[in-house]
Amino acid sequence: MPQRFLITAILVLATLAAVALWLGRADIVGLWSADNSVKFPSEIAISSGAVYSAKFTDLHGDARTLGQWDRKLLIVNFWATWCGPCKEEIPILVKIQAKFGERDVQFIGIAADSRANVSNFAESTVVNYPLFPDELGAMEFSKRLGNRLGLLPHTVIFGPGGAVLYNKLGAISEIELNQIIAKNAPINH
């Protein structure tokens, strides 16, 4: 009887694994972690220096370079108000920023959108990290980080010093963010 059960179980598990893989949900069976991100070019031809020297103007009209966060885990989220999945994930980003802000984790939102649209959005939605509307520059910067088609949302996580730790097209989940931050956030000083 145990052998019969074993064989049945193996067949059932194998079938489940095959179905899960076919559905693109390998994470269901724990074969590897969930990652529905679109494949990026393996190389990113932009130096950390160039990343940190990138300058954007926030909603208050202040020009800021990304280098001011070079000692933090910098999470750059490219988005736009016309992008549904982008707006949908923002509450998660806000939540994680609030949770890990004191652990030197910094989100910024670079919008491929007009200043007026982003300002309107910010008036109706609480966002606890800087927003930079730059209709043209956002897309160009995102493309230089491997987003060939300029798709949104696009999130890139830079470690302290500028190394790209994570690069994802499509919405990023709370679980993913928690895992990456737990592994890479700077130790408090």
Name which of 107 and 141 has its Cβ closer to another protein: 141
Q: Are strands 73-79 and 63-65 parallel, antiparallel or unpaired?
A: unpaired
**Can residue 182 be called a binding residue for another protein (CB under 8 A)?**
no
Among 99, 101, 127, 135, binds another protein (CB under 8 A): 135
Q: State the CB neighbour count (10 A cutoff) for residue 22.
A: 8
Letters for 139-178 (x = contact with another protein by CB under 8 A, - = none) are: xx--xxxxxxxxxxx---------------xxx-------
Name which of 16 and 182 has its Cβ closer to another protein: 16
DSSP letter assigned to residue 104: T
Q: Are strands 164-169 and 131-133 parallel, antiparallel or unpaired?
A: unpaired
**Can residue 28 be called a binding residue for another protein (CB under 8 A)?**
no
Name which of 22 and 183 has its Cβ closer to another protein: 22
**Can residue 41 be called a binding residue for another protein (CB under 8 A)?**
yes
**Can residue 43 be called a binding residue for another protein (CB under 8 A)?**
yes
* Shortest CB 125 distance to another protein, Å: 10
What are the CA-CA distances from residue 1 to residues 6, 8, 40, 141 (Å)? 9, 11, 50, 62
**Can residue 47 be called a binding residue for another protein (CB under 8 A)?**
no
Joined tokens for residue 128: 């606890």
**Can residue 3 be called a binding residue for another protein (CB under 8 A)?**
yes
Per DSSP, the three-state class of 77 is strand
**Can residue 36 be called a binding residue for another protein (CB under 8 A)?**
yes
Long-range Cβ contacts of 140-149 (<8 Å, 24+ apart): 141/54, 141/78, 141/110, 142/78, 142/110, 142/112, 144/44, 144/45, 144/46, 145/44, 145/46, 146/40, 146/41, 146/44, 147/40, 147/78, 148/41
**Can residue 13 be called a binding residue for another protein (CB under 8 A)?**
no
Q: Which residues bind another protein (CB under 8 A)?
A: 1-5, 7-8, 11, 14-15, 18-19, 21-24, 26, 35-41, 43-46, 80, 82-88, 112, 135-137, 139-140, 143-153, 169-171
